[in-house]
Amino acid sequence: MSHPPIIVDSGVPEGSDDYTTVVLFHGYTWSSKACHRMLPLAKASNARLILANRRDYVGAERADLFAAAAVADSEPDAARTKILTWMHDRAREVYDLLVDIIGKNKTPLAHPEANTGGIVVAGWSFGTTLMTAFLANMASFLVGDVDLRKYLRRVVFLDPPDFALGFPQLSPMPEPDALPQGKDQLSDLPLFFSGYFKHGDVDNPDTYEIRTPLADPGPTWLKLTQEDIASFVDAVPGDLRGGMDNTLMTAGMASGAFAALREAAVRLPEEVVRGSGTEAGSSGWDAVEARHVWGDHSMAAMVFAMHSLQVDLEMERNAGVRLRNVTFTRVEGANHIMPWDLPERTLDAILRA
């Protein structure tokens, strides 16, 4: 099992001994190169930014098509077990990548109280499923020569859709012929996903705009050149005929696997009583923060994900469930393609205290 490949690395800020390493994974069919506008901004933020690709994308191992077919043909309970096992292995790859980065560099230790040093790992959009899998499984991985607990500060959910966190969808993703632009899926779906949407009260999903993006500002997709698109769009994982991301998305929603990963990511083990007192059950992993970053002009599914997670956490707290520290950061005026349109503010949302 190899770890995810590093596609681009901004490098270490010169002269800094307390910089933060940010490892960023991408979303659905857009590889991490779509985040390359953030790279020149990293050093000014006292950060090293590493862009990594998920399984089945350029530079990474291609997924086993037979395994994808087996998941697709499974009953929900069987599919859930297969997906959770598969995601456990992907989480282990993230763990190994972070350990490798630390082992090959003099990575500063984490100082959460100063908001410096250590590692922040983030997953954009559908890549958030990898982040929930990582949080859900990281405590089960054996600590070797590098104790990741001394470095890992934060795991970021960067503008995920509702279904990636296992919540019921506010509104099904539109079919191409239901979009205002027409019926050409290859051109019209990106126009929709990259649009800017004016919502009402973010605490009231009934006021969200679910269909029509603003005319001004226009969709990010219209700003891209053919060279831009060719550099980061990878259609293979999202192929409706059995691409791994398409299979994972469909089966993960239907089987409840994404909901199980979210619950395991934010719930903490019960405290145990030792002879000398009470201590947490996961030996230091509990201190890792989860941060949900969302754009208030993103698609309704992304705003609804934020709202649903806040409501769910409040219900859990009221029920006495022990929870991870989950914070929320709003990026005003941002659409879903914030790493491209607003790279500086996106990086700030990931890094700020």
pLDDT (tens digit per residue) in 7-28: 999 999 999 999 999 999 999 9
Instruction: Please give the order of strands across the beta sheet that includes 20-25.
Output: 6-9, 47-52, 20-25, 119-124, 152-158, 289-295, 326-331
Asked if residue 13 lies in contact with residue 47, where contact means CB atoms within 8 angstroms, the answer is: yes
User: Which residue from 220, 232, 172, 217 is spatially nearest to 193, judged by alpha carbons?
Assistant: 220
User: Which residue from 289, 301, 267, 293 is spatially nearest to 157, judged by alpha carbons?
Assistant: 293
Token pair for 122: 């983030």
Asked if residue 146 lies in contact with residue 97, where contact means CB atoms within 8 angstroms, the answer is: no
Q: How many residues does the chain have?
A: 353
Give the DSSP H or E segment for 40: none
The CATH number of the domain holding residue 21 is: 3.40.50.1820
Q: Is residue 92 part of a domain?
A: yes
Q: State the Cα–Cα distance between residues 332 and 53, nearest whole angstrom.
A: 27
Q: Is residue 128 part of a domain?
A: yes
Q: State the Cα–Cα distance between residues 45 and 350, nearest whole angstrom.
A: 11
Amino acid at 85: T
pLDDT > 90? residue 77: no
Q: What is the pTM of this model?
A: 0.93
Write down the residue that tokens 């500002």 correspond to. Answer: 217
Q: Is residue 72 part of a domain?
A: yes
Query: What's the whole-number average pLDDT of the chain?
Result: 91
| Number of domains observed in the structure of the chain | 1
Which carries the bigger pLDDT value, residue 204 or residue 74?
A: 204
> By mean pLDDT, which of 142-156, 175-189, 234-248, 281-295 is the weakest?
175-189
Q: Is residue 177 part of a domain?
A: yes
Give the DSSP H or E segment for 187: helix 185-193
Range of the structural domain that residue 247 is part of: 6-351
Q: Is residue 41 part of a domain?
A: yes
pLDDT of residue 243: 84
pLDDT of residue 44: 98
Q: Is residue 1 part of a domain?
A: no
pLDDT of residue 55: 86
Average pLDDT over residues 192-215: 96
Average pLDDT over residues 127-131: 98
Q: Is residue 283 part of a domain?
A: yes
Q: Is residue 127 part of a domain?
A: yes
User: Which residue from 19, 53, 73 is spatially nearest to 251, judged by alpha carbons?
Assistant: 73
